[in-house]
Chain A
Amino acid sequence: MKLMVHKRFLRLLSKGRECIWYCQKPKLFISQPVTLTFGRTVRSFHVASPLMMKLLSVEEIFARKSLHQHLTKVQLEYKECLQAISSITMEDQCSEEELRAKRTKISLLAPLIQSIRELDKKHEEMAETEMLLKEEDQALRELAELEKEGCLQDIQQLRAKILELLIPEERVELSDLVLEVTAGVGGQEAMLFTAEVFEMYQGFAQYHGWSFDILEHMTSDLGGLRHASASISGPQSYKKMKFEAGVHRVQRVPKTEKQGRMHTSTMTVAVLPQPTEISFTINQKDLRIDTKRASGAGGQHVNTTDSAVRIVHLPTGVVAECQQERSQLKNREKAMKALRAKLYSMKLEEETSKRYNQRKIQVGTKGRSEKIRTYNFQQDRITDHRISITVHDVKSFLLGEDLLEDMNSLLQELSNQEALMELLEESSQEEQ
């Protein structure tokens, strides 16, 4: 029976990656090589050092007292809001603003409350079915068996849904972002690696069907990249890419190395959420735009093919430039896009640096200066230092397909769990 249920979950798992998080899964809290099932493929992850974090199953989380306490608290809160609104009278002192806050709260909590109620109902059904199982009639018992199976499945799904709804929303859950790659320590070798990583994310974007539009692209003589940026948009793109921000380290014998010595070089990935025009405005007066046409008469007097545009944000000194396009206007639009993202992320960083201090999976912001991953070519392995997970086959990983996706999903899951645990902890502390 248990096996059947498990199979069902696996099938569910293969239906879509979205369900991964709330499905039963072999645990990672093992000191030997573990196998994780990720929908289409089975991958081996090797635990390099004792795991700092354990990926919990839905059951394990539901077994926690703190979760049930939190759910009870939420239901109570919902009820109070409802009462406050329905009992309101014209002369009540309750201000308009308070009311609005309560209404917002209700609409925010409604899906969660709905799921909790459905879960309760399913538990009742389950109890009834259990009764039927004790019947003498064989046919009835078989029927009850079937029903029980369905019930269990529904319960599992509802529990998963509840957990998903509990995960605190990121303030910036946008779908568009600007990816920035910059070569770090290691000269030409670092630049060559930067080019490879940039291509990896181009592959990752293609894998997910996101658009990948290169904004800046500064090459080195040997075909490496000093710095590049690209605008990425598509469903879930920010949600996934934010786990890629940080310092990536490469260990290998560079092509440029004559004596066969291994080098360690670094490059930095920054993931900047792309703000909308409305959410973030830049004063045009703060900008200085440089083009090759700036000197001389311009217009019909000059014919140039250099359409590069450089924009300086005067108050901060932040610069963005683009020479990707043959149209100057297009270059200006792209440079502006890069600049907006840079300024916006500076602003966000200021606001959020305090909020995520304790989190291990540094969500997009503080991670920029932190070493997150090592690509060791000689041992053909990639190690993610945030979760101490190692995966093999660097070449396939750099394609930006299944291997990167799996690593990325794992980060997402652990980050979600981290956020949830944080929430439950806060909630139970309040109780005391």
Chain B
Amino acid sequence: MWRRVLRGGHAFIGLRSGGTKALWGFHGLRACSAPALPAGCITALQAVDFWTKQFEGKGVTEPELSSRYIIAYLLGAKTIESLEQQRLKEFLSREETDQLWQLCTQRLSRMPVQYVIGEWDFRDLTLKMRPPVFIPRPETEELVEVVLTDLQRLCGSGATVLEVGCGSGAISVSLLKSLPQLKAFALDQSQEAVDLTRENALRYGVQDRLQVHNIDVVKDADALLGLCGSVAVLVSNPPYLFSQDMTTLQPEILRFEDHAALDGGKDGLNVIKQILTLAPRILPNQGRVYLEVDPRHPPLIQQWVEGNGKSLQYIETRSDICGRPRFCILQNEAPKPDQD
């Protein structure tokens, strides 16, 4: 239901329909009071200033950056800095102005910049972004770093990785692009995410080494077990928010991103526990699990694994660059077969 509303909302915003207003209430009203197109011509720099002020006035977060990113995108660049000064002083064409007004009006409705311009960078990749598929966060770039370092050290070529909850495919595509011998399975409960992961894999030419499946690991564990052969590594950025925190999220997240990719249940551990339950049945001896989690989670996970983790051992907690405990590493220690 939520997703349908979102998709509808996305379409409506462009049309400034009354229907959006009814659905979004107060914020929807704001979105509809978009400024009129300018009568004369304006330059890119003037447009940056104009929209920065508009965003500021309407309480949109990161007003200046949003304005700069959208205009840079319009002019075919990633950042304003990478454009020549001369280009920024030239007048925008009518078409460019029209398109800019459309894009910025979407931002006024609090749509994340990443969805407005339809792409964002993750490590050295530029990935397609599309609502409601979860937008990868910078912390996940570090998760990939951790996994990459270990994969290069621990596994030879030809290992297979399983990613649970692939979203836009950021983790899987990054790993596959960095390690040309690697293969991967990627799962997501959302068909939109599965489609987007495929598109991003295609973009970087790793589609032949990636199998993407629309599977919900909580509801359909058997499908997962039947599907994957032996995988050396399980990696996931699962939904880890505590349900009670969902209401305090910024409008960009709350209104546009798939809640199923964020809400981890009462203690944020719903999907995590499911992954840790299945891991010993999927991973070989010494196979590892890498998770991105909430900073409150590592001790809870360690505790849970000691009671319910079977052969799974908690190895280590790593912090993100801001110093928050963010990544958990676990390892399967299968009991040694009896020696005759």
**Residues on A facing B (Cβ under 8 Å):** 195, 214, 217, 219, 223, 289, 291, 293-294, 297-307, 309, 324-330, 332
Contacts and interface: CB of A to CB of B under 8 A. Distances in A.
Contact of B79 (A301, A309, A324): A324
A299 B326 contact: yes
Contact of B145 (A217, A307, A309, A329): A329
Contacts of B145: 329
B36 interface: no
A304 B295 CA distance: 19
A327 B122 contact: yes
Contacts of A297: 245, 294-295
A297 to B, nearest CB: 7
Interface stretch (B50-58, B136-144, B228-236, B301-309): B136-144
B241 A303 contact: no
Contacts of B253: 300-303
A285 to B, nearest CB: 12
Nearest to B142: A329
Given A300-B262, A301-B249, A302-B250, A327 B239 contact: no
B123 interface: yes
Contact of B85 (A223, A299, A324): A223
Contact of A301 (B123, B135, B241, B321): B241
A153 B62 CA distance: 68
Given A297-B295, A301-B249, A305-B66, A327 B138 contact: yes
Interface residues of B, number: 48
B246 to A, nearest CB: 10
Interface stretch (B26-34, B113-121, B152-160, B186-194): B113-121
Contacts of B261: 300
A306 B252 CA distance: 14
A299 B240 contact: yes
Contacts of A324: 79, 81-82
16 contacts: A195-B85, A217-B81, A293-B139, A294-B322, A298-B324, A298-B326, A299-B292, A299-B294, A299-B326, A300-B253, A300-B261, A302-B253, A303-B253, A324-B81, A326-B120, A327-B138
A299 B142 contact: no
A309 B249 CA distance: 24
B65 interface: yes
Given A223-B85, A326-B79, 9 more contacts: A289-B322, A293-B139, A298-B324, A300-B237, A301-B241, A303-B114, A325-B121, A326-B78, A326-B120
B18 to A, nearest CB: 28
Contacts of A302: 137, 250, 253
Given A327-B122, A329-B142, A300 B79 contact: no
B81 A291 contact: no
A327 B257 contact: no
A327 B145 CA distance: 13
Contacts of B120: 305, 326
Contacts of A305: 62, 65-66, 69, 112-114, 120
A186 B287 CA distance: 62
Closest 6 CB pairs between A and B? A328-B138, A326-B121, A329-B141, A327-B121, A223-B85, A217-B81
Contacts of B142: 329
Contacts of B294: 297, 299-300
Contacts of B322: 289, 291, 293-294, 298
Contact of A303 (B245, B257, B326): B257
B320 A298 contact: yes
B85 A303 contact: no
Interface string B238-265: 0111000100011011000100011000
B321 A330 contact: no
B124 interface: yes
B122 A300 contact: no
Contact of A330 (B61, B121, B241, B320): B121
Interface string B66-86: 100100000000110110010
A270 B88 CA distance: 28
A214 B81 contact: yes
A327 B141 contact: yes
Contacts of B139: 293, 298-299
Contacts of B113: 305
A242 to B, nearest CB: 26
B138 A293 contact: yes
B303 to A, nearest CB: 21
A219 B84 CA distance: 12
A303 B250 contact: yes
Interface string B102-139: 00000000001110000011111000000000110111
Contacts of A330: 121, 123-124
A329 B62 CA distance: 20
B262 to A, nearest CB: 5
A328 B240 CA distance: 21
Contacts of A332: 321
A214 B121 CA distance: 17
B105 to A, nearest CB: 18
Nearest to A228: B81
Contacts of A303: 112, 114, 135, 137, 250, 252-253, 257
